[in-house]
Amino acid sequence: MAGREITLKNCRYVVRDHKVIEENIDILIEGRYIVDIGRGLGGGDEIDCREAIVLPGIVNAHTHAAMWIFRGLFDRGELHEWLKNVNKAEEKLTPRIVYLASKIAMLEMLSNGITAFVDMYYFPEETLKAVKETGIRAALGPVLTDEVVEEGESEKLVKSFIEKTKGFSRIKTVVNVRSLYSVSPETIREASKLTQKYDLDIHMHVSETRREIYLCKKRTGLFPVEYLNSLGVLNKRFILAHLGWVTSWELSLIKDKNASIVHCPASDMKLATAGFFPLRESLDFGINVGLGTDGAASNNSLDMFREMKVAVLLQRNNYWRTDIGERDVFRMAIENGYRILNIKGGVIEKNNVADLVLLDVKDLNLNPLSRRNVLSNIVYSANGNNVIATFVGGEIVYHREQKEAIYHSITDTLEEIQECINEIA
């Protein structure tokens, strides 16, 4: 069945990918997919895009949506100290609060042009419920811990999560493992075994701080990525988040095994992890590197436009070179994000999913505007407020005109969340 037709008419600019930009062109959507791009197209609902820049949807490839509740509460302390404080606060979170907070985080992400995210958090069924309601695309799933694995519960958890995602083509199950230092090697092996058995991704925080590297080396004689490789778990389904501290031979291993990395520059800097993520080298190796905000507790924004800019600035500041630029980070946040999700998207072309973002050419921070600087303006000057509308799988899941209505619809929720915050802080 073809599904509903929408034509985006006369788009001022279409940023098809990090290289190709077109002007005054139409995009035809049928059901969940882009079916044509060209001039003189029409059919279905026609949307006038003469004052819009259209780009593919943005992927927040590493976050903890529910941590939205902690925004602005834990602004001090390097990572391990910060974690101690956050973990204490997390004891107060109920499944309902996780559902409410993650739902608002998703509404915020959609309003910022984020069409998909990769999540790791407790009570993932609650986050899943919110994903189903908001229409965003997501990869999420159970967090495996030593207790779960020792009790033989891990497979049951994973299977029941997969069951709950059935019938939702925009939702993927991932197996989450918090970090190397929080679990035993058996838990990591078990997680990997399950991902192979059920054809899933494994998502884990790796090499965030110098302390983590030191402890791993002292305990195992290996650097973290070498250690993962020695466990036999590194493969193309492995998503390594952060990797602020990594050696060139570990990058080689990642490339050989075809694993993906998610760089989270703002969160890394805010938590003073002081790593030098070697982005240029990773890209030169041909590794798939995505971009993520991490949770709102450590970013504190969920705006990938900012993240793209910060990613460039961090590299330039650390390495005294300007060869990382707007094309690299646009590709990371969009095309590489869809590669991590293993979905045909992230590029505006026929047969790709119709995940699209419309930006307003009338916003002054996007001007002066020409084909020459449109990509530069998106990366260095745009922000989430420039988003007119966000499409996921051919559906308009956010439109700027709904902004007030969304806010008023969550007034009670915000009050309920504030009560929880008052108990925490």
Binding site for Zn ion (CB under 5 A): 294
Token representation of residue 201: 């991704």
Token representation of residue 115: 């069409």
CB atoms under 10 Å from CB of 125, counted, come to 16
Which residue's CB is nearer to Zn ion, number 294 or number 326? Answer: 294
Which residue's CB is nearer to Zn ion, number 294 or number 335? Answer: 294
Which residue's CB is nearer to Zn ion, number 26 or number 294? Answer: 294
In whole angstroms, the minimum distance from the beta carbon of 266 to Zn ion comes to 12
In whole angstroms, the minimum distance from the beta carbon of 318 to Zn ion comes to 21
Which residue's CB is nearer to Zn ion, number 80 or number 344? Answer: 80
Residue for token pair 């838990």: 187
State the distance between the two ends of the chain, measured CA to CA, in whole angstroms: 52
**Which residue pairs from 263-266 have beta carbons closer than 8 angstroms and sit at least 24 positions apart in sequence?**
263/289, 263/290, 263/291, 263/292, 263/311, 263/332, 264/62, 264/291, 264/292, 264/293, 264/294, 264/307, 265/291, 265/307, 265/310, 265/311, 265/314, 266/293, 266/294, 266/299, 266/301, 266/306, 266/307, 266/310
Which residue's CB is nearer to Zn ion, number 176 or number 390? Answer: 176
In whole angstroms, the minimum distance from the beta carbon of 295 to Zn ion comes to 6
Rounded Cα gap, residues 378 and 321, in angstroms: 21
Which residue's CB is nearer to Zn ion, number 171 or number 204? Answer: 204
291 has which bridge partners?
A: 263
251 touches 214 (CB < 8 A):
no
Burial 332-366 (b: 16+ CB within 10 A, else e): bbbbbbbbbbebebbbbeeebbbbbbbbbbebeeb
Which residue's CB is nearer to Zn ion, number 16 or number 306? Answer: 306
Residue type, 187: T
Which residue's CB is nearer to Zn ion, number 30 or number 294? Answer: 294
In whole angstroms, the minimum distance from the beta carbon of 207 to Zn ion comes to 13
In whole angstroms, the minimum distance from the beta carbon of 310 to Zn ion comes to 16
In whole angstroms, the minimum distance from the beta carbon of 17 to Zn ion comes to 28
Instruction: Name the residue whose CB lies closest to Zn ion.
Output: 294
Rounded Cα gap, residues 286 and 255, in angstroms: 7
In whole angstroms, the minimum distance from the beta carbon of 181 to Zn ion comes to 14
In whole angstroms, the minimum distance from the beta carbon of 302 to Zn ion comes to 13
